[in-house]
Amino acid sequence: MWWLGTVCYHIFVFFSFFGIPPSVSKLMAPSKRKSTAKADRIAVAKVAKVVLNSRRTTRTEEIGNDSDPHQAISDDDEDLLMAATTGKYDSHEDDGDSDENDDKKYEYAQPGHKSEGSHYYQAPTSEEIQGLKEASDLFKSNIFKLEIEELLAEVRIDYSKLKPLEAALHQLKALFDGLPDEPDASLTHIKSQMSKKYKISIPFPDPQPSSDIQYTFGFKKPTAIHLVGSFPLKTLTRSRDRFNVDVAVEMPTRAYYLAVLAKGIQSKHDLNVNLEFSTFNGDCRRPILILNPSGDKSDTDFTKSKCIIRILPSIPTTLFPASRLSPSRNNVRQKDHNTHTDINMLPATPLYNASILQDSTFTSNLVYLYKHVKACPAFVDACLLGKVWLRQRGMASYEQNGSTMNGFVWSMIMAYLLDGGGTNGGKKLSSGYSCYQLMKGTIDYIAQHDFDQSPIVMGNAISDEKFRENFEVVIVDPSGKVNLAAGMPRAAVAQLKYEARLAQKYFDEYGEDRFDTLFLTTVNELPLYYDNIARLPAPSKTYPRYTAASKLGHIDLFEHFARDVSSLLAMGLTNRVHLIGVHHEPLQNWAIYNSPTPNDSKNPILIIGIILNPEHATRLVDQGPPAEDATASAAFRQLWGDKAELRRFKDGSILESVVWDAKDTEERGLIVGRAVQHLLQLHYGIKPIDGVTYWAGQLNPFINLSQPLSAPTKHSNDGTRNLGFGRIMSAFDQFSKQLRTLDDLPIPVANISPASPALRYSSVFLPEPFNLSGSSLFSNAARYIEPIDVVITLEGSTKWPEDVAAVQQIKTAFLLRIAEQLRMLGGTKVIVVDEADAASDVLLRGYMDVFYSPGFVFRCRIQQDRELILLQRIIDDKNEKPWRKDMADYALRQYNLHFANGPMHTFHLQNVCNRFPSLSSTIRLMKRWFGAHLLSSHICDELVELLCAHVFLDPQPWREPASSLAGFARVLHLLSNWNWKNEALIVDLEGSMSLATKDRIRDNFKNSRARDQSMRHAAMFVATARDLESKHWSWLAPSKVIVARIQILSRAALPLLTNMIAEGNESDIKRLYVTPLQDYDFIIHLDPSKCTRYSENIAPETQHTRKVQKYKNLVVGSSELSEQPLVGFDPVERYLGELKATFSDTALFFHNRYGGNFIAVAWNPATLTARQWKVDTGFSSVPVDVDDSGFMVSHIVEPSLRVS
């Protein structure tokens, strides 16, 4: 996009001389005018084609002579960030300062008329030209710059509209300044007086002060009141949640002073607010007072400001010496403390010390940030961008639980980088950077910085070592005394770095606009974000890791558990995982007349999310330290308990290790879950029976045949589950080698290509070798074998005939010759089938079924390129009969399906499945899902595979899934949110698609929709590098009705899965694979014993799958289909095909290919409406009359029969 700035510059120069269209002139108006008007922002978005989200509503109205630029402006009740993603713009009801020209219509200059004073014809200013030249340098592209400006305009707070809030703050300041002093009184007295007289419960944290304490409580009006936080810096952002306006009030004690302030506010009748107590950063020892608007519409009612006021207790910076609150000092004594113990021997209380120091730095940090706001013009906008990014990535909850990054720490890090942080002590960022450069530079620093080895230190009043010894994360503020990340666990920084690396990747992608991904998409939905999820209760009792020293920092057991568990799991799982996230409900605000409810009394639930590292997640052995390292070995054994053992490895090393048993690929995928459950039970006493739900393999049963059908009597099952697809791949390789060794052929075999889902790791069920000798023991419903398609390519020859029918016959002869030689080699059973069609001699016909040891059936077809040329010749022949040309066209499609598209698709999907181990199981689950919802006959296997591959090849805004559960959820999310009517889905299977190719695909899509507005073709436009027009797999099906049905089902399934995970309800998992039948008009029930694939049903009835043994004289001839395996024979599919061929214009038919025993039918609504009778209506009809009640009365049936 480097050339875009130059192009825009020349456009400006051109229009300055030859005239500028009004809409463009509005966009190009000089910056000194009111260019920030909402109408101008809409025009900018239109001209620049800034699409803030793929789901935003398409704006069709044109800004013209009679149009109102405010038509699409939303009301005040809609969330601003959500409005940005839907293409709407916020308009407050109390807008009193709108642009004076907002109500004017846009003017159009008459041709040939040019007014020198008209602003439409003013030349661009030097600032505008310079801005265009710098856009590609200061921003990723001009379009990206416009998108950022549009986003900032939507999330930035309009401070001129906060008059009621300002009035409330002034009232609050006057109130606090006028509060009377309270005399000293005992604890018992003040608690009784506050509770009985004022209905206020003093928010003393646990443990509550003893009633016999010797000191008294008094009150004097605050010595200082400061407006702190983001509000005075103007770095607040709009969001779904209300923003905070922080007021720091200096006071010597927290709890009692807050109670007196609450009492004073209650008595102030002209400041009507609802009061609550809360905690600051989730620390129960730091109570704060919350002022919520009352909604009384008074002058101080700040409801429309969508904010709350927080009263934060603070202390002067000089109240305590820094040495006394050093991280290594102890300032909390236990009840059984020995007064004679040396204070230096007591355990340190770094969290408590930091909480006191943080109360003294509100104003100093505000001054530090304000200095950078003044020095760096783009600093405020960069803070806004950073906060939006943090919130969208699920990391802006620090205010609630203190466990993740927040906007304040982000701003401090960026300010630090403006002062230093670079190489050799230089500055990482420059004050001349744009907001995009500031944010990108901060993200780059976070992604690359090692917080463990190099903590961020802005001041050095206390040595770095003391901070590093007592905190997991160290970010020291400019005073050098306070660790801003004191309450932040190491897991929070791991998540920040993980997201920063992902953002870094999006920023650096050439030619791709990832603006939506970075700023407009919320990504923290559990099944979409994590690969494995554990839901567990809090420990029922204390555990060894909750030591006496831990109790000094974490009074609440659950608080310590939530912080400690991520560290423990990180030590145990090592590089098996990329990220471990911990989620729980924060301590809620409570009414001022109540006491806070500790977590321990609420049976809280903790949710642990894990993003797996697919390279190491499934390994069977965890290697520990060598036996010689006694200290490390002891720590390893303490970590793993009785799972740890000493082992000698092949290289001669003797190491502590943990070995996990796993029989097959599925079990290896569950090793991480087993390790997590072992560590939880060993260190916290939490057992699986205590209510632990680990979400990883719950969907696996749906892609495995039911247990009774996996018996050795049906399949030669001597390890298929253990080998996965390895067994069929090995058999195919052996078969290919055997075919190449055939030398008694007129034309040698050149290549053998796989063309089956089983050979691209995507068949719903693992290919199991069929026990041919035991097939007679099973009924028709359990003897189906899916043939494995193989394409045989012969070497080139010029002797092939010039007639398609003759080519087909010669191919059949070749198959017979190959079959003969295969039988001679090893007694292999081979059957050659000639499917000659009497209606046409050009159609594809004939194949060879090879029953290959240990029990697979390869269905082979011969490819001959000459056939392609001859078919095309028939189609292009103007003298050819139309019916024959239609047959040739159908034959050409079949040829491409079997010999061109199928093998090539198989080749590329094999590679993608090898790159992403969980893609295979994701595809299998999705095929099963489509089948369970009766859609398998409407969407082909290859299209499902492309949809699944897309979420791995283009996983943004997440990382590619590393588990089948996450992959399944991501595909549902894609189907739920894909705007298929207006967007093409581009799947880069080969991984080398150029930007030009993607542009061609988008152009093809636009042309397709323009030509075919009813979407009769390619309703799902899914394109690849070899299919730029989506003709291979979705040209004819699914129809737009089916696509809409798919979207409805996926939108219901994803919330269901999310709720099941959040609630730990595994029993409802089958609901994902049960489809509602009430939407169909009638059901055709089939006899399960005649459905040859019934054994693949999710819950088959065994009486239909096992043959009941009788006396031998009664068994003979009992099967209608003989006793042989049924290779590719599915009578239900054939019956379904006949129904579609006969009644496709009358009804839609739905069936589950994988074991379904009924067909659901929905009438075409057009067939149910009255129409004029005519000859050749396409269906039988009888004359009827309509009686007085509106019922139709037939002349053929009895008069009493009424058909409504």
Give, in degrees to the nearest 5, the angle at Cα 962 between 956 and 963: 120
pLDDT given for residue 1155 in this prediction? 92
1038 DSSP 8-state letter: S
Length of the chain: 1204
Final residue of a structural domain among 503, 524, 545: 524
- Backbone φ and ψ for 857, nearest 5 degrees, come out as -120, 115
**Residue 35 burial (10 A CB sphere; 0-12, 13-18, 19+):** middle
Instruction: Let me know whether 149 and 177 are in one domain.
Output: no
- Give the domain range for residue 382: 343-356+374-524
The residue among 257, 294, 247 whose CA lies nearest residue 275 is 294
pLDDT given for residue 601 in this prediction? 55
Instruction: Let me know whether 478 and 497 are in one domain.
Output: yes
Let me know: does 863 contact 899? Beta carbons within 8 Å: yes
DSSP H/E element including 1071: none
Report the b/e string of 1101-1111 with b at 16+ CB within 10 A.
Answer: eeebbbbeeee
DSSP 772-828: GGGGGGB-GGG-EE--EEEEEEEPP-S---S-HHHHHHHHHHHHHHHHHHHHHHH--
Domain membership of residue 1135 (yes or no) is no
DSSP collapsed to 3 states, 190-237: HHHHHHHHHCCCCCCCCCCCCCCCCCCEEECCCCCEEEECHHHHCCCE
The residue among 789, 784, 772, 775 whose CA lies nearest residue 855 is 772
DSSP collapsed to 3 states, 983-1011: CCEECCCCCCCCHHHHHHHHHHHHHHHHH
Instruction: Let me know whether 500 and 612 are in one domain.
Output: no
Residues 6+ apart with CB under 8 A from 941: 757, 762, 927
Instruction: Let me know whether 821 and 782 are in one domain.
Output: yes
Return d(Cα 331, Cα 320) in angstroms, integer: 12
Place of tokens 């070497």: 795
Let me know: does 1166 contact 1085? Beta carbons within 8 Å: no
pLDDT given for residue 1094 in this prediction? 92
Return d(Cα 1047, Cα 748) in angstroms, integer: 49
Q: What percent of the chain is helix, strand and coil (3-state, nearest 5)? A: 45, 15, 40
pLDDT given for residue 1109 in this prediction? 53
Instruction: Let me know whether 799 and 873 are in one domain.
Output: yes
Domain membership of residue 834 (yes or no) is yes
**Residue 228 burial (10 A CB sphere; 0-12, 13-18, 19+):** buried
Return d(Cα 710, Cα 918) in angstroms, integer: 23
890 half-sphere exposure, CB direction, 13 A CA radius: 13
pLDDT given for residue 45 in this prediction? 38
Residue 937 in tokens: 């006959």
Final residue of a structural domain among 915, 939, 963: 915
pLDDT given for residue 95 in this prediction? 40
The pTM of this model reads: 0.85
Return d(Cα 952, Cα 143) in angstroms, integer: 27
Final residue of a structural domain among 915, 942, 962: 915
Residues 6+ apart with CB under 8 A from 132: 5, 8, 9, 12, 142
Give, in degrees to the nearest 5, the angle at Cα 94 between 91 and 100: 70
CATH of the domain at 747: 3.30.460.10
1184 half-sphere exposure, CB direction, 13 A CA radius: 19
Instruction: Let me know whether 783 and 871 are in one domain.
Output: yes
Number of domains in the chain: 5
Domain membership of residue 244 (yes or no) is yes
Instruction: Let me know whether 141 and 187 are in one domain.
Output: no
CATH of the domain at 418: 1.10.1410.10
| Three-state DSSP state, 745 | coil
Let me know: does 777 contact 814? Beta carbons within 8 Å: no
Return d(Cα 1128, Cα 785) in angstroms, integer: 6
Own/partner long-range contacts of 803-807 (Cβ < 8 Å, ≥24 apart): 803/870, 804/841, 804/842, 804/867, 804/870, 804/871, 804/874, 804/888, 804/891, 805/841, 805/842, 807/864, 807/866, 807/867, 807/870
pLDDT given for residue 838 in this prediction? 56
pLDDT given for residue 110 in this prediction? 38
DSSP H helical segments within 1012-1165, as ranges?
A: 1040-1063, 1102-1105, 1112-1115, 1131-1143
pLDDT given for residue 338 in this prediction? 62
Own/partner long-range contacts of 406-411 (Cβ < 8 Å, ≥24 apart): 407/230, 407/235, 407/237, 407/383, 408/229, 408/230, 408/365, 408/484, 409/475, 409/484, 409/485, 410/383, 410/386, 410/442, 411/233, 411/235, 411/369, 411/383, 411/386
Residues forming a β-bridge with 275: 291
Strands 273-280 and 243-250: unpaired
Domain membership of residue 655 (yes or no) is no
pLDDT given for residue 1154 in this prediction? 95
**Residue 957 burial (10 A CB sphere; 0-12, 13-18, 19+):** buried
Instruction: Let me know whether 161 and 142 are in one domain.
Output: no
pLDDT given for residue 17 in this prediction? 34
Place of tokens 């506050």: 194
Domain membership of residue 1026 (yes or no) is no
Domain membership of residue 1195 (yes or no) is no
Residue 1025 in tokens: 């590098």
Domain membership of residue 92 (yes or no) is yes
Instruction: Let me know whether 519 and 544 are in one domain.
Output: no
Q: In the chain, which residues have pLDDT < 70?
A: 1-141, 335-343, 397-403, 598-602, 706-722, 773-777, 837-839, 1105-1122, 1177-1179, 1188-1204
Return d(Cα 987, Cα 974) in angstroms, integer: 13
Residue 635 in tokens: 């720590």
Instruction: Let me know whether 718 and 823 are in one domain.
Output: yes
Instruction: Let me know whether 109 and 161 are in one domain.
Output: no
CA-to-CA dists, residue 633 to 627, 648, 655, 674, 676, angstroms = 6, 15, 9, 22, 20
pLDDT given for residue 71 in this prediction? 33
Residue 153 in tokens: 């305009």
Strands 605-612 and 693-695: unpaired
Instruction: Let me know whether 737 and 726 are in one domain.
Output: yes
DSSP collapsed to 3 states, 466-525: HHHHHCCCCEECCCCCCECCCCCCHHHHHHHHHHHHHHHHHHHCCCCCCHHHHHHCCCCC
CATH of the domain at 594: 3.30.70.3020
Domain membership of residue 631 (yes or no) is no
